[in-house]
Structure 1
Amino acid sequence: MLATATPSRQISFLCYLLCFLSLLAAGLESDERQILLGLKVALEKSNANVFDSWNETSSLCSFRGIICNSEGSVREIDLSNQKLSGLLPFDSICLLQSLEKLSLGFNSLNGKVAEDLKNCVKLRYLDLENNNLSGPFPDISPLSQLQYLYLKKNGFSGAFPWKSLVNMTGLVQLSVGDNPFDETPFPTEAVNLKNLNYLYLSKCTLTGKIPAGIGNLTELINLEFSQNFISGDIPAEIGKLQKLQQLEFYKNSLTGKFPNGFRNLTSLKNFDASGNLLEGDLSELRFWTNLVSLQLYENNFSGQIPEEFGEFKQLVNLSLYRNRLTGPLPQKIGYRSKLYNIDASENFLNGSIPPDMCNMGNMSYLLLLQNKLTGEIPASYANCLTLRRFRVSNNSLSGAIPAGIWGLPQAEIIDIELNLLEGSVTSDIKNAKNLAQINARKNRLSGEIPEEISKASKLTRIDLSENQISGEIPVGIGELKQLSTLHLQNNKLSGSIPSSLGSCNSLSDIDMAKNSLSGEIPSSLGSLPSLNSLNLSYNDFSGEIPVSFTSLRLSLLDLSNNHLRGPIPQGLAIQAYQGSLNGNPDLCSLDELSSFRRCSANSGISEAVRTLIICFAGGLILLLVCLVLYLQLKQKEKYRERSLKEESWDVKSFHLLSFTEDEILDSIKQENLIGKGGSGNVYKVTLSNGKELAVKHIWNTDSTGRKKSRSSSPMLANRSEKSTEFDAEVQTLSSIRHVNVVKLYCSITSEDSSLLVYEYFPNGSLWDRLHTGRNMELDWDTRYEIAVGTAKGLEYLHHGCERTVIHRDVKSSNILLDEFLKPRIADFGLAKIVQAKVSKDSTHVIAGTVGYIAPEYGYTCKVNEKSDVYSFGVVLMELVIGKKPIEPEFGDNKDIVRWVCRKVQRKGCMTSVVDSRIPEWCKDEAIKVLKIAILCTAELPALRPTMRNVVQMLEDAEPQ
């Protein structure tokens, strides 16, 4: 018989047990502390402040972002949105046996997700979204308790393990979109998760059709599968999802009509089906009275817009542009709702503009361009003080423009062109403090341009062409410092051009042709640093062409059909400008330009005599002033005309030279001028042995012969301040040796100027061949070879040089073609060599050309190798499609990249965008290259291939 334990023994046993459990708990806490400290070591370099409380002495449960359970074990880790980067040690994290929540979203974590994740078997919540994670996502089938899984916006690739979700019957929210997974049909595993209320599958390479099983997900509130390759009709079963508040499947290839029963989705607030191939009418949507945002643009919808839309009290956004809709807009639309945006452009709508869309004082974007609208602009919009964009161009609107429209304080764009509108630009424009663009071309506007236009200080574009505007150009226009485009052609303007226009330093495009402007052309226009196009033809201008025009770098100059006289300035006496000066019989040429008489030897003297007589009549003082100016002019001419050989030159050769500096210097003269660039003139030099070279001449002095100050030339100022760095970069660039990179033979420098001697390319640039009058038919084989050669040149710059060279301005005009049409990458004016002391990831500099600039530059102002990859992708699209990076047909704020993506997704066939000049039997091969271009122009830099990978892909696409 066993003895009964005494109370004292029981107490002792309990004490021992408590001590054991205490030691065990202490051991567990010690282990978990070491796991967390290991996580700290992996991530603290990116943001040490997050881990201030993570140490050996603080309580484990007081660590920032850590929540423990009742036993003191780690239950939750929440380090989301903490700017963390580095690799996650999943092998140790998943040793936290009580871990139920791991939230690390909105950081910059990188690397792969290890297979060890499957050991976190108690996880209910996993958030890794908005990071830089990559590689395949592992099988997580053991995580059967998972309820929330967020993986969107990473770089995950390969096949997503959909089958691992089969046992996760409690899953409530699933977000795996915005990842470049392998192509896969719409997952049936997902539509069997009947507890889902949130499903995000956008932009993850889904294909095939929407399964009818989608109707099983009756708890869904949010369903998104946009920007995929889903085709076929919308299944009727989707009408069962009556709790849906948000449904988005834009930019797919869906066809057919909205199914019967679609009207049952009456809880919908946001619906976006834009960028598909849907058709039929919108009658099924007239019951959706809770709609806040409806976007159906870029489809094939027809019929009328339901009148019921005018009764929707919550409607804020309505986008229906680029469809085939007919009939009038609902006249009550916006009367009862805080309508913010309406875009019904590019349809066949008729009738009048609804009068009350700004009734609730919320309207910002009113876009109805390119329809068949008639009637007047309702007067109510003159009081729409929130309006930012008013675009009703290309309709048949008539009547007077309400005066207050011009003075709307928030308006950024007033676009009324191609209508029958009357009235004038009123003085109210002084209140338009945010107005950037006036597009009023081809109306019946009259009256004068008000002086108050100078108060609209943010104007960048004024187009009042093809109207009946009269009077003089206001002097105050010179106050518009941001103005870049001024189109006033085909009006009834008179008087002279105010010299103040020369103060608009941002002006790049001036067109005043076909008016009655008179007087002398102001010389101040010659000082506009950005002017690219100047058309003053068909006016009554007199006097001489300002000598200052020789400093302009113009792609278009037209001074024809005026009354200009005297000698053509030497800088303009080149064949390229000959037709631009016709119709001025009193002009003469100092050189032998055909179509112009040669100036007589004393023509300059007679003009000087006339000037002296006028000065003499004004008094002796003015005569002396004119004499001083005359002497300065002669000094300037003497300086410019002196022989280059008089200077002391320093030659640095980068290749074995077959010429002397004298041969180069002797050829720098007017008749050899072939172009003008931003930094100097370019000459074609033919050597005695017949070899042709291109020489860029850069003056280091101003027009009087004085050395330029730092303010007059930032480039040269930087050179004087950082000559060592500049010389080092030039030396590195000059050492480049690659068959697809233009060869710099040597530099020849003096105190006053520099000559850079390059290869000469008689076939011009790829831009010339694809887009200009110099077009030479390029067969597909040639285009392909140009693509491969250019890619190999960029691969060399990125991977083959001692230090990475980022070109930063890859474009078709910087790809030159030799006599065999082999490409050479040129113009390294913006190139950046990645120095050892500089982060290899990026550089902070203004770089690139509009249409070629990678999207991330707009918000980071940084460029790296992936920026070059994007620009090269644009060049590939030019080769395949034959269009420029920016074309009017692309639409408002769209470039070739977005146009291609929209076309491909909308039509479901890439053949539709291939250049019609490419034969049918080559189009499959062209499509292969287009697919590479689309990869290169991925929005996220991490998703773009390296140039080394691009070369490999192009070689794999070689024409058979």
Structure 2
Amino acid sequence: MSPESISGHLLLLLALFFLVISPSFSQSDPRQILLKFKTEVAGSTTQVFISWNENNPVCNFTGVVCDSKNSITEINLSNQGLDGTLDFDSICSIESLQKISLGSNLLHGNISSRLSECANLQLLDLGVNLFSGKFPDISSLTQLQFLNLNLSGFSGPFPWKSLEKLTNLTYLSVGDNLFDRTPFPSEIFNLVKLQTLYLTNSSIEGTIPEEIGNLVSLKSLELSYNYLVGAIPEGITKLTNLQELELYDNELSGGFPVGFRNLVMLSELDVSNNSLEGDLSELRNLTRMESLQLFENNFSGEIPAEFGEFKFLKQFSIYDNMFIGELPAKIGSWADFQYIDVSENFLTGSIPPDMCKNGKIIEVLMLQNKFTGGLPETYADCSSLQRLRVSNNSLSGRVPDRIWGLPNVRMIDLSMNQFEGPVAPNIGEAKSLAQLFIAYNRFSGELPEEISKASSLVEMELTHNQFTGEIPARIGDLKKLNSLYLDGNFFSDTIPESLGSCVSLNDLNLAGNSLSGEIPASLGSLHGLNSLNLSNNKLSGVIPASFSSPRLSLIDLSNNMLIGRVPESLLAEAYNGSFAGNPGLCADGSKGLRQCAPTPRRSGGLGIAKYCFIAGALVLVLSLTCFVLVKSKQKDSESKTNRGFPWDIKQFHVININESEILRSLRRENLIGKGGSGNVYKVELGCGKQLAVKHMWKSDVDLGDRKNHPILPKPESRWPEYDAEIATLSSIRHVNVVKLYCSITSEDSNLLVYEYMPKGSLWDRLHTCPKIEMNWKVRYEIALGAAKGLEYLHHGCDKPVIHRDVKSSNILLDEEMKPKIADFGLAKIVEINKIMDSTHVIAGTHGYIAPEYGYTLNVTEKSDIYSFGVVVMELVTGKKPMQPEFGENKDIVRWVQGEMRSNANLIALVDPNISEEFKGHALNALIIAIRCTMRIPALRPSMKMVVQMLEQIEPYSPIDIMIENDINGVKP
């Protein structure tokens, strides 16, 4: 061996020696491993790593647990905002490590197969993260007892085979991931120590094998939201330790197997939304039951009498089945009963009287049955009650007075029964009441004036009762009222002028009463009014000129005593028959109305004198008006720097703007959009800058006149949409949120001046005819940009902002197709350190509204996330949120879910206009959209997580872009 060779070998040995003895270079040094781990996963908001430094012993690192020998046994950093990729190559070199808890973070990327080298691992929690790709084989982790991968982002085939040897497992949760479809994994049946098995939403198909009975230690079994068919196996009756069984949202059939009564420890059972049938006799001995969910099946027979003795029952939901007979009288009378829903069955008898015995019940839902008798007096003191729905039964008698004034009740639905008597005056105490439905009963007497104090009312349907007297004069105090149906009663006297102050009113129906007098002109100032029916009354006078703007989709003034000329704008084809039965009405050129006589031209001394007098009076009035205007303008010029217009301007971004130039541009030829609160115009300034101006109308009643008005409420903001827009956008600075330059206000109008978005809305680009083709690069960038805008609103503002009306028509596109979130008229600013606000107005647009929002009226950021998921589905599929092809009562979310369940070729869901090589990328975005539209809000990711997921699926390399642009004919 040459001296040079010997020297080289010595140097190599020396280097290896120093590498071994030097802790700073040793890969097995726990401190260096943890500090390296810190650099990889410490997000910008992570605070947990403050104690992780060179001067602190590793056993004092926050989240690190050591044994008595100072060996690291656990890393517990769940829900700490970790953001990065995991390097199990180094972590698993800590041989003493037994537990890794990293759930509920923002970790992403693939998981290395080196995870299998954590040989002593007993607990692994990676749930609720943003990982991608396949989960690796872990068959070597034979000491593992706890494995949680729930909602972690993994996809592809799951290594079920690797679980076969993990016989120490007691907890296994791999649900809510997009794994490939597979039959029920038989490997699980070897895990006889399992106590918890969560496989909900794991793409499992076929039948549940009888071998499920091998898992005799199970306490919780959740197999919901899969593709399971066939009967509930008899093997499940061997699981006598079972406390929770969840099988909802499958396609199971048959009845409860014989022996199901053996599951005496069962406290939670949910088999809803299947095709199960038969009676409930096998459940009669399950006395520990707390939550029983059987809805949307084909069960029949009577409710077992033993259910009335279930002393722990809190939740009972069996709606949409075929049950008959009576409910047990004592049902819900023992524990802190929370809700009952037995709707859409064939139940008879009386309403059980003691379900609110412990004062905890929130919902009583018993609509569409055959119940008889009255509402029990016991519910009059049920202050916890929020929803009372007993419509479409055969109930009768007088409603206990105190029920009308329950403090927390949000909905009272008594429609289609035989109730009688009055609405009690204490309804004014129902400050939470949003929906009052008592149509088609025999209620009588006068509607109490106090109903105007129920300030949260949104919908009132009193149709076809026997109410008499006047409509309450102060009904205009109900600022949130959206629909008012008083038709088919015996109301008399005039229509209250204050109705014109119900600024949220959308539908008004007063038909079939005995109302007289003139139609209040104030109704014409309700710019959100969509439907107006005043037919079959005794109204007189002319149709107010304020109705001349054709905003209504329906107007019916037929069969009254109206006179004069029908405004020309109301003679559209859509209003045919709207004015029949009014002999005094006339119109020019209308088929259904008589021709108006021409204006007579009279002569003679008396006529001349008359017109001279009128002309003189007009000259006098005009002179006085000019004098007042001159004085007013002189005074105005002192305070408004001689602008010449009584407008007040507030700037939020620096812009050289002259309001008079804007006002001159508010002409019909510049109109680019219409809404319930006003019009939108395109304005081009003299300097060439283009703007969009929203002109929002105010009420005709001047604020100053309200101070001592006997009917109208005291001055307050009459335009909550305008206020919301100003409050939200004036302080926001983000590239993906539309820029509000300034507001310009006067006594009767509000102008909001925005940046102009030349490419219009995403809705127009996707759905208008003819469609404008967009390649996947453009669609992806729109999705990502809109997500970043919403992320800023939810997480980047001083106070989180909930948009509440996210939809493709509210995503505007600039010259370069960059998206910006717009229209903040429904936005809510959430106070920090307070519980999320709620509203009694169901804000939003059909097809985009999250299911829990329409049901509970809760306002959370998760509602925005659901709506955003719908937008992404539009981008991927090219379809609208609501289309006839989806079927009855289905929207795009349910359609996509159904297609993914039944269609093996998922690429078929992607818009054909997206080129073939990018359909796989689009499908990745659809998977994110599905996560955003999960039925349970807590399972939806935050917008911060959505942005991360979208960034991870970015499909574009420079070559990708060149290829697709070439295919789509897009120039570089």
Identify which of 878, 891, 898 aligns with 1:896. 891
Partner of 2:593: 596
SS in 1 for 2:47: helix
Question: Are the counterparts in 2 of residues 195 and 217 from structure 1 also a CA contact under 8 Å?
Answer: yes
Match of 1:85 in 2: 83
Distance 2:929 2:279 in 1: 38
Q: How does 1:36-55 map to 2 (within 5 A)?
A: 36-55=34-53
User: Within 2, Cα distance between the matches of 1:702 and 1:368?
Assistant: 43
Q: Which moved more, 1:499-508 or 1:276-285?
A: 499-508
SS class of match (1:489): coil
Which of 466, 469, 475 is the equivalent residue of 1:468?
A: 466
| 1:499 alignment partner in structure 2 | 497
Partners of 1:85 and 1:110 within 8 A in 2: yes
Q: Residue 808 of structure 1 contacts residue 830 of structure 1 at CA under 8 Å; is this kept in 2?
A: no
SS in 2 for 1:303: strand
Question: Following TM superposition, by how much is the alpha carbon of 1:216 offset from its aligned partner in structure 2, in angstroms?
Answer: 1.1
Q: What is the distance in 1 between the residues matched to 2:929 and 2:123?
A: 35
Aligned pair partner of 2:425 in 424, 427, 442: 427
Distance 1:732-1:255 versus aligned 2 partners, 3 A rule: closer
Structure 2 CA distance, aligned partners of 1:165 and 1:252? 25
Shift of residue 828, structure 1, vs aligned partner? 7.8
Q: Report deviation, 1:460.
A: 0.9
Per-residue CA distance 1:329-381 (angstroms, 9 max, x = gap): 11121233322111111011111111222222222211111011112222222
Q: What per-residue deviation string (whole Å, max 9, x for no partner) do you get for residues 824-865 of structure 1? A: xxx9862244999x9999999969623224679952575697
CA distance in 2, matches of 1:164, 1:229: 23
Identify the match of residue 779 of structure 2 among 789, 794, 798: 798
1:585 to 1:909, Cα distance in 2 relative to 1, 3 A: farther
- Which of 864, 869, 872 in structure 2 is aligned with 1:869? 872
Gaps of 5+ in 1: 1-19, 633-664, 683-695, 743-760, 762-785, 810-826, 885-889, 912-928, 953-960
- Please report how far the alpha carbon of residue 567 of structure 1 lies from its aligned counterpart in structure 2 after TM superposition: 2.4
The answer to whether the 8 A contact 2:677-2:696 is kept is no
Task: Give 1:389 deviation, angstroms.
Answer: 1.1
CA-CA distance at 1:201 after TM superposition? 0.5
- Aligned partners of 1:234 and 1:259 also within 8 Å: yes
CA distance 1:572–1:796, shift in 2 (3 Å): farther
Distance 1:252 1:362, change over 3 A: same
The 5 A counterparts of 1:384-783 are: 384-551=382-549, 553-589=551-587, 591-602=588-599, 679-680=678-679, 721=742, 729-731=756-758, 733=760
- Counterpart of 1:359 in 2: which secondary structure? coil
Query: CA separation in 2, counterparts of 1:317 and 1:537?
Result: 46
Write the mapping of 1:357-368 to structure 2, written as runs, cut at 5 A: 357-368=355-366
Q: 1:172: how far off?
A: 0.9
Q: How many residues align?
A: 776
Write the distance in 2 (CA, Å) between the matches of 1:909 and 1:627.
Answer: 78
Task: Give the Å deviation of 1:168.
Answer: 0.8
What are the residue-to-residue correspondences of 1:26-425 with 2, within 5 Å?
31-425=29-423
The change in CA–CA distance for 1:106 and 1:727 in structure 2 (over 3 A counts) is: closer
Structure 1 residues 701 and 49: CA distance shift in structure 2, 3 A: closer
Shift of 1:947: 12
SS at match of 2:392: coil
Q: 1:625 to 1:82 in 2, by over 3 A?
A: farther
Superposed displacement of residue 441, structure 1: 0.9
Return the offset for 1:239.
1.1
SS of the equivalent of 2:428 reads helix
Q: Which amino acid aligns with 2:589?
A: E
Q: Letter of the aligned partner of 2:757 in structure 1? A: V
Measured after TM superposition, the shift of residue 23 of structure 1 is: 6.9
User: Equivalent residue for 1:881?
Assistant: 885
Change (3 A) 1:278 1:829: closer
Change (3 A) 1:130 1:333: same
Partner Cα distance (2:107, 2:407) in 1: 44
> 8 Å contact 1:803–1:835 — kept in the other structure?
no
The alignment's TM-score, normalised by the length of structure 2, stands at: 0.71
- Looking at structure 2, the residues matched to 193 and 473 of structure 1 have their Cα atoms a distance apart, in angstroms, of 70
Distance 1:851 1:331 in 2: 40
The Cα RMSD (Å) is 4.8
Q: Distance in 2 between matches of 1:587 and 1:85?
A: 71
- Aligned partners of 1:322 and 1:903: how far apart in 2? 20
Displacement of 1:43 in angstroms is: 2.1
Give the letter aligned to residue 551 of structure 2: R
Asked if the contact 1:410/1:432 (under 8 Å) is kept, the reply is yes
C-alpha offsets along residues 54-98 of structure 1, whole Å, 9 cap, x if unaligned? Answer: 111111111111112333332211110112222222222222222
Distance 2:303 2:602 in 1: 74
Distance 1:392 1:840 in 2: 45
Farther off after superposition, 161-170 or 379-388: 379-388
Quick check: 275-284 or 940-949, which moved more? Answer: 940-949
Residue 849 of structure 1 pairs with residue 829 of structure 2: no
Q: What is the aligned partner in structure 1 of residue 913 from structure 2? A: none
Q: Which amino acid aligns with 2:138?
A: I
Matching residue's letter, 1:881: E
CA deviation profile, 1:400-431 (whole Å, cap 9, x unmatched): 22222211122111111011111111112122
Instruction: Kindly provide the CA deviation profile for residues 428-463 of structure 1, in whole angstroms up to 9, marking residues without a partner as x.
Output: 212212111111111111111101111211111111
In 1, Cα distance between equivalents of 2:460 and 2:368: 20
Kept in 2, the 8 Å contact 1:214–1:238? The answer is yes
Is 1:797–1:806's contact at 8 Å kept on the other side of the alignment?
A: no
Q: CA deviation at 1:596?
A: 3.0
C-alpha distance 418-75 of structure 1, shift in aligned 2 (>3 A)? same
Deviations 1:681-726 (A, max 9, x none): 99xxxxxxxxxxxxx998799999xxxx999978899765299x97
1:924 is matched with none
Query: Hey, what does 2:959 align to over in structure 1?
Result: none
Kindly tell me: are residues 271 and 392 of structure 1, through their superposed partners in 2, closer, same or farther at Cα, counting changes over 3 Å? Answer: same
Partners of 2:221 and 2:246 within 8 A in 1: yes
Residues 529 and 341 of structure 1: CA distance in aligned 2, closer, same or farther (over 3 Å) = same
Q: Is the 8 A contact 2:476 2:498 kept in 1?
A: yes
SS in 2 for 1:86: coil
Cα contact 2:51–2:62 (8 A) shared by 1: yes
Q: Report the secondary structure of 2:466's partner residue.
A: coil
The alpha carbon displacement at 1:574 in A equals: 3.1
Q: Structure 1, residues 576-633: CA drift from partner, whole Å, max 9, x if none?
A: 33432222222233x5333334444538999xx99x99xx99xx99x9699969x99x
The CA deviation at 1:144 is 1.2
Measure, in 1, the Cα distance between the counterparts of 2:784 and 2:462.
51
Structure 1 CA distance for aligned equivalents of residues 696 and 427 of structure 2: 44
The percent identity for this pair of structures is 44
C-alpha distance in 2 between matches for 1:557 and 1:412 = 30
Q: Deviation at 1:730?
A: 2.4
Cα deviation for residue 202 of structure 1 reads: 0.5
Structure 1 residues 933 and 69: CA distance shift in structure 2, 3 A: closer
The 3 A distance-change label for structure 1 pair 626 and 372 is farther
Is 1:831 the equivalent of 2:835? Answer: no
Indicate conservation of the 8 Å contact 1:854/1:870, yes or no: no
SS in structure 1 at match of 2:36: helix
Helix, strand or coil at the partner of 2:445: coil
